[in-house]
Amino acid sequence: MLANLQEFIKQHSELTEEDFMTLASMLQPASFDKKTRVVDIGEVANNFYFVLTGIARRYFFRGKQEVITHIIKEGGIMGSVISFLTGEPSRYILETIEPVTALSMSKPELEALFSSHKKWEKFGRKLLTSYFLQTEYHNLDNIRYSTKERFVNFMKQNPDLVLRVPQKYLASYLEIQPETFSRLKHLMVKEK
């Protein structure tokens, strides 16, 4: 269970086994059924979650249309980031697509960890940097690539999600009309 977390941490920081166990001791297990709203618009997000199994999405409404800004799978961190960091009510809904098992940490626990030693501050900085880079790359890709290029790149990088996430959610995340997504998917199957 902790192997996924340890692998994730190695991508961002070099922690000793003792450091890892300190972090692990602060995390609480959490599980959510399919279609559970972990955070709703207007609620304050007091926890963030490291996803062990399952998939979730973060979205908001533009009028009546759902706009998905993030799809989180195993090995990712889920939460309403702005709300968690500022204490303001969430502007997003965080909802599971599949049943999710996760490890959670509250903001006070995270702050205490960061305050305990400089290495933890550095770890937090690297984690935030990674998150913001992922978000920036996603935004940049939506601007610089055509619809087809975005679709193809996503399919190459996330072939498992096509089988696990409803097509309309993937289309929203990629900012592609559902009909266009379906057409591109069929073209890709034909080309194989």
**Looking at residue 12, what is its pLDDT?**
67
Structure tokens at 52: 């062990």
Mean pLDDT of the chain: 88
Beta bridge partners of 77: 50
Query: In a 3-state reduction of DSSP, which class is residue 177?
Result: coil
Eight-state DSSP code of residue 106: E
Query: What is the domain extent for residue 46?
Result: 2-106
Q: DSSP labels for 25-45?
A: HH-EEEEE-TT-EEE-TTSB-
Structure tokens at 71: 């799809």
Residue 58 contacts residue 70 (beta carbons within 8 Å)? yes
pLDDT at 35 over 90: yes
**Looking at residue 1, what is its pLDDT?**
62
pLDDT at 40 over 90: yes
Q: Number of structural domains, the chain?
A: 1
**Looking at residue 45, what is its pLDDT?**
95
Span 66-123, pLDDT tens digits: 999 999 999 888 999 889 989 999 999 999 999 999 999 999 998 888 888 888 888 8
Counting residues of the chain whose pLDDT is more than 90, the rounded percentage is 49
Q: Which helix (H) or strand (E) holds 123?
A: helix 118-144
The mean-pLDDT minimum among 2-6, 134-138, 144-148, 163-167 falls in 2-6
In a domain, 28, yes or no: yes
Model-level pTM?
Answer: 0.86
**Looking at residue 17, what is its pLDDT?**
81
CA distances from 51 to 66, 136, 137, 141, 175 (A): 23, 21, 21, 25, 24
Q: Residue 28: CB partners within 8 Å, gap ≥ 6?
A: 103, 104, 105
In a domain, 163, yes or no: no
In a domain, 114, yes or no: no
In a domain, 8, yes or no: yes
In a domain, 36, yes or no: yes
In a domain, 126, yes or no: no
pLDDT at 192 over 90: no
Q: Which of 49, 36, 41, 54 is CA-nearest to residue 78?
A: 49
Q: What is the CATH number of the domain that holds 12?
A: 2.60.120.10
Reported as a pLDDT band with limits 50, 70 and 90, residue 58 is very high
In a domain, 60, yes or no: yes
